[in-house]
Chains A and B, each alone.
Chain A
Amino acid sequence: MISVRQRSVLIAAVIFAILLLPPVMHALQARMAAQMLVQIPLLIAVGYLLRAAVPQRLAAAIAAWNLNGLSGLLLATFAAAFWMLPRSLDAAASEPLFTLAKFVSVPLLIGLPMGLSWPCMNFVVRGIFLLELIAMFFRLGWLYLISPIRLCNNYLLDDQQRTGQYMLMIGGAILLWVAIKLLWGHFDLSPDSQQVARLHTHDPHRPADR
């Protein structure tokens, strides 16, 4: 019988291995929409799941420096900002060194910090994060849709515009999910806890309620 933690790490390893398979990698990098909206999010998910591999003492030590998850959120934001630049995406599709950097940094500098920080975030920080995420999908989607020039050498204008459309849809979908969750969702709270929205149950790593 494998534990929840082991299962998380196993799933992360399997996804990572699949993403590394040359045909899969090639297929996902051949289109802008696939690289931005499938490959990179999956790499983030790998890092997120990997938090289960962080020894508990180390996780506790990190949590002490991660008030409300803000340090992790900042790190992830900066790393994500880099991978949102068309220049970086372009290079990651055609230069092996950049591809390697992507496969290492996206899980470790975006996914993992988010995985370790999400449970520490209180309602307000999560709210700001989600609203900004939604706003960013709308802004970037809009920008990709109307940009008169190609943003990447590797991808054509129609691909770019399709990516824009998908981003608008994803932004809308997240917004809908957040709205439904807030209106009718179940929030597991203790009265004195700041930590309101717990989307992840059964997580042995979550620091105690604060």
Chain B
Amino acid sequence: MSSLALYPEDEKLPRNERLVFDLYIITAVALFVLMMLLGLSMRLTQATWAGIGPKLFYEILTMHGAGMVGTMGLVTLAVMWFFLRKYVHLHLWAFLTNYVLFMLGALAIIISIFIGGYAGMWTFLYPLPVHSMGIGSVNAAALFFIGYLLIGVGFLLFYLDAAAAIIRKFGNLGRAMGLQWLFGGTIDQSHPKAVVASTMVIIANSLGILAGAVVLVMCLINAYFPAVVLNALVVKNLIYWFGHMFINATIYMGVIAVYELLPRYSGRPYAVSRVFLWAWAVSCVFVIIVFPHHLLMDYAQPRWLAIIGQVVSWGAGFPVFLVTAYGVLTNIYRSGLRWKMPSRLMVLAVFGWAAGIVPAILDGTIVVNTLMHNTQWVPGHFHFYLLLGVLPMALAMMYHVIGSRAQSSDDAAGDKLSLPLYIIGGLVFALAFLAAGKASVARRFATHLPEWVPYDQAGSIGAILIILGMLFFSVRIIAGLLKTPTDVGSAHPGG
């Protein structure tokens, strides 16, 4: 049970749990491939190698943004569930309800975009969704908001069930995060890191969803009663509080996979330390208040909020990232790490996370933001850490599970090719965005100036490589999940 144990006693999923878990993973993998293809179609269009019209481009951009962020939330929530359930008693109904609400929300979003013509982006700028100049209807915008609300409610339900389970075991959320050991006392070395991380996510993301629940309903009211005029700056703050928090939470749910799995491949326990607890506590506060870095160019924004945005940007990602990177490096140093797909993916994830937050921190600095704001530097940063950081964390868990079910940790021959394809593709793709950003290429533009096109073409090639790698991963994972006989346990030392 403890995190000092290398092989938790029982990771086996009972039949129903397994069914729902498989549903999550297969849905997520399929959605990732689909959304990547949409992404590729956009990149090819910017590169002038394909020609989807601007109207469809912005619809696809909206779908890709909302779809990718949602899917990343879905899959990392499955990571959190998979490991947290070993320490506290989670109810399957909450996990399943979240899935159902997510699918309903996704359906609402798809209809609003491709039938209703909503193309106001995943983080929209009030009041543009309801002023589409005749392209999309007000109903479409409303349906998009409702889709978000459904997904938010699903997440909240899951978090509440998880909070109840954690409190039942640890007393309250503060103790679950180990706050009692911040200033002294003997730390219980077996306190699960999965619980610390999950608790932080529950607190921070619930607040973000609350902000979303307020602002989305207000936008709905405004859609049908335009006389109720909202303060655009307040709306923007709340939208980013919600949106930034939601996507940020994925990395903190995903990293649980690293904490749980790495020791099994290094053969070395990965203990909880006071520094670790401090890092998570500080990040919990910072992550909640870091969102103003999206509003550095809003001149009406109170100055103190902009300053918080900059100062906290420098601090928010660092604590957890530093303890994790340090923890991972010391855990694998001279450990004779077994290089299998899950461990390769975990090392990649920590690198992707590390490298991906550097451009973010730079851009969170007001003087840099003056230059880089709304350039492709921004998609450069987040594609870097999402493609090479968070997604590999989730993939590591998936590979681990299929390896466990097949009772074999051997990589398939194709893995030797697919992972390098994915990594090289990811680097080329993300660096093309960053380079374009440095050259002041605007983000969210369907048509690019001729001078910008070489970046787009390089990015397109990178994207094709990523998708090839991802297609192979998907086939392996889906086949691995579907093929296994039901009575095989998933806790095998080989990982």
Within the assembled complex, what's the spacing in Å between the Cα atoms of A113 and B167? 27
Query: Contact at B179–A183, with CB atoms within 8 Å?
Result: yes
The answer to whether A173 has its CB under 8 Å from any CB of chain B is no
- The verdict on B206 contacting chain A, using a C-beta distance below 8 Å, is yes
Binding site for A on B (CB under 8 A): 94, 156-157, 160-161, 163-164, 167-168, 171-174, 179, 203, 206, 210, 213-214, 217-218, 221, 227-231
Q: Which residues of A lie under 8 Å from residue B230 when comparing CB positions?
A: 142, 146
List the 3 closest A-B pairs by CB distance, nearest first: A123-B164, A127-B160, A183-B174
Q: How far is the CB of A146 from chain B (nearest CB, A)?
A: 7
- Say which residue of B172, B214, B217, B218 sits within 8 Å of A182 (CB atoms): B172
Complex contact B218–A135 (CB within 8 A) = no
Which of B160, B206, B228 has most A Cβ within 10 Å?
Answer: B160
Contact B228 A143, beta carbon cutoff 8 Å = yes
Q: Say yes or no: A147 contacts B213, CB within 8 Å.
A: no
Q: Main SS of the interface on chain B?
A: helix
- Closest chain-A Cβ to B94's Cβ sits at a distance in Å of 7
On chain B, the residues within 8 Å of A204 by CB distance are: none
Question: In the complex, A196→B94 CA distance in Å?
Answer: 16
Contact present for A128 and B156 (CB under 8 Å):
yes
Measured between beta carbons, the chain B residues less than 8 angstroms from A139 are: 214, 217-218
**When A131-B156, A139-B214, A184-B172 are in contact, do A124 and B227 touch as well, CB less than 8 Å?**
no
Interface size class on chain A is 20 to 34
B164 engages A122 (CB within 8 Å): yes
Find the A residue at minimum CB distance from B176: A183
Q: How many Å from the CB of B414 to the closest CB on chain A?
A: 43
Question: 17 other contacts beyond A183-B172, A189-B167, with CB at 8 A cut-off?
Answer: A123-B160, A123-B164, A127-B160, A132-B213, A142-B218, A146-B228, A146-B230, A147-B228, A182-B172, A183-B179, A183-B203, A184-B174, A186-B172, A194-B164, A196-B164, A196-B167, A196-B168
Q: Which of A166-208 contact B (CB under 8 A)?
A: 175, 179, 182-187, 189, 191, 193-194, 196-197
A149 within 8 A of B: yes
Indicate if A32 sits at the interface (CB-CB under 8 A): no
Q: Which residues of the other chain, B, contact A197 by a CB distance below 8 angstroms?
A: 167
Q: Which residues of chain B are within 8 angstroms of A131 by Cβ–Cβ distance?
A: 156, 206, 210, 213
Question: Which residues in B have their C-beta under 8 angstroms from that of A147?
Answer: 228
